[in-house]
Structure 1
Amino acid sequence: MANAHIASGDGRRVLCSCISIFLLLAGVTALTVWLVYRPYKPQFTVMDAAVYSLNATSPFIFTSMQFTIATRNPNKRVSIFYDALTAYVSYRNQPITPLVMLPPLYHEKKSTVVLSPVLGDGEVVSVSAELVNELAMDETYGVVPLTVVLMGRLRWKAGAIKTIRYEIYVRCDVWVGLKNGSVGVVPLLRAPPCKVDI
């Protein structure tokens, strides 16, 4: 009877040891895979800007702008799928264009993709009278700070494995050289790398 009890206890210990070893090996494998394939954030930079129209009469603004944005996938082993990407332009933290839906995008490993969305396209957006006054003042000085925002979801793909979807928020703060009434390609006076949150 005592021998049966001891054998039963030994069996439980062996089973617990096997489970512990399995979990430890699974953890080490998962950590190794993560270290080898861990994805780095994509990088975004505004390369060029054009303003085709910009008219503000309180309380409305309507504009048409185009930004050339280069996005870089720095990963050697991981590609990126972008879903439901939208973009808009804001001025002093107030949107001045409606949301524009961008097509889905597949980003190969170690590659650069260029986007050139037209934003606004003359659609009217309601803004504050204060914003209209500030815009007029900035245009007088010839320096207008704008923010291009991209939002959506992404998935990383390594081999046959795809991750779940993650929200991505990209904020590109630029200063454009824009005088009253000027249209077409405008100089980028300041265009640091965009901030990317995932």
Structure 2
Amino acid sequence: MATSSSDATHCNKTVTGYPAPINQVVSGYPAAAAAAAPTHYYAFRPLPPSSVYRPLGSNPYNYSVRPTLFYRMIIFCVAVLSIMTVLALIAYLVLKPHLPEFRVESAAVSQLNATRSELTARWIFTLVVNNPNKKLGIGYDRLEASVFYGGELGLAASQLAPFSQDKKNQSTIEFQLGAINEYVGENVVDRILRSRDRGSVDFGIRVLGWIRFRCGSLRTREHMIRVSCDPIRIAYSLHNGTGTLTGQPEKCEVY
């Protein structure tokens, strides 16, 4: 009995040294904690499962894919635009396109009659169109010619047929414009009749249209042109009442 009591006392004795025997408790640690201590150890702490596992096909860097693609598209568009601008500038410097030249070759006015505020007349014009370009042809489309008086007042208008010119080429356009009982106001009628009685009346021509330069199979985009021929002095004969262009052919402004 004495031996058993001595053995129990020896087993429950707290050890203060190191290392401790297996059947003894280290000072400061309960026996239960020592019994629950893990029997295996890791070389490093495992990462949480959420930081290791990702669904199949997911991109951990997805936040940077869209901005990068957007920036690349912008750079590509800027590069293409820059190349096209440089090519257009080179073509312009090499070809040097010039606007066509217009001049009034002949003009005549017949059947000029006026009431108190209305005008009746028929105008016949011949325009010479010159293409000064050495390397470019010109195509003309959607042309409209009008005759006016006093700088602004339109008297008659008509569409002109489209045509085209080769380089260093000249074309002639003849057209007629008519007004029948066109209301222009008493003041305008009075001014026209007074000028006719003095021997001449100044009219003007405007031509609006679209042109396109071409070089072989290449075509430029359309450009609007405005042609202004003003004044055109028409001299009247007292015998037949018909007026014709007086002086030299008038060169027109083209812009």
Task: Indicate the TM-score class for this superposition, using the shorter chain for normalisation.
Answer: 0.7 to 0.9
User: One-letter code of the match for 2:129?
Assistant: T
Residue 60 in 1 paired to residue 111 in 2? no
C-alpha distance in 2 between matches for 1:111 and 1:70: 11
Bigger drift between 26-35 and 79-88 goes to: 26-35
The one of 177, 180, 205 equivalent to 1:119 is: 177
C-alpha distance in 2 between matches for 1:68 and 1:105: 15
C-alpha distance in 2 between matches for 1:24 and 1:118: 48
User: One-letter code of the match for 2:227?
Assistant: V
* CA RMSD between the two structures: 2.5
Q: 1:144 to 1:189 in 2, by over 3 A?
A: farther
Secondary structure, counterpart of 1:46 in structure 2: strand
Q: CA deviation at 1:165?
A: 1.6
C-alpha distance in 2 between matches for 1:129 and 1:23: 57
Residue 41 in 1 paired to residue 109 in 2? no
**Looking at CA atoms only, which structure, 1 or 2, has the larger radius of gyration?**
2
C-alpha distance in 2 between matches for 1:32 and 1:130: 54
Q: 1:23 to 1:130 in 2, by over 3 A?
A: closer
Q: CA deviation at 1:90?
A: 0.6
The one of 60, 69, 78 equivalent to 2:136 is: 78
| Relative contact order, higher structure (CA 8 A, sep 6+) | 1
Q: CA deviation at 1:151?
A: 1.1
Paired residues of 1:140 and 1:179 also in contact (CA < 8 A): no
Q: How does 1:1-198 map to 2 (within 5 A)?
A: 27-92=85-150, 93-97=152-156, 99-120=157-178, 122-173=179-230, 174-179=232-237, 182-184=240-242, 186-189=244-247, 191-197=249-255
Q: Which residue of 2 aligns with 1:3?
A: none
Q: 1:196 to 1:181 in 2, by over 3 A?
A: farther
Q: CA deviation at 1:191?
A: 4.5
Paired residues of 1:143 and 1:178 also in contact (CA < 8 A): yes
Q: 1:131 to 1:24 in 2, by over 3 A?
A: closer
Q: CA deviation at 1:31?
A: 2.4
Paired residues of 2:237 and 2:243 also in contact (CA < 8 A): no
Where has structure 1 moved over 4 Å in runs of 4 or more? 19-28
More strand by share: 1
Paired residues of 2:214 and 2:220 also in contact (CA < 8 A): yes
C-alpha distance in 2 between matches for 1:28 and 1:115: 38
Q: CA deviation at 1:128?
A: 1.4
Paired residues of 1:63 and 1:123 also in contact (CA < 8 A): yes
Tell me the alpha carbon deviations over residues 31-82 of structure 1, each in whole angstroms, 9 at most, x when there is no partner: 2211111310110000111222111213211111101110101001111111
Q: Could you tell me the TM-score, scaled by structure 1's length? A: 0.80
Structure 1, gaps ≥5 residues long: 1-14
User: One-letter code of the match for 1:42?
Assistant: P
Q: 1:50 to 1:41 in 2, by over 3 A?
A: same
Q: CA deviation at 1:195?
A: 0.9
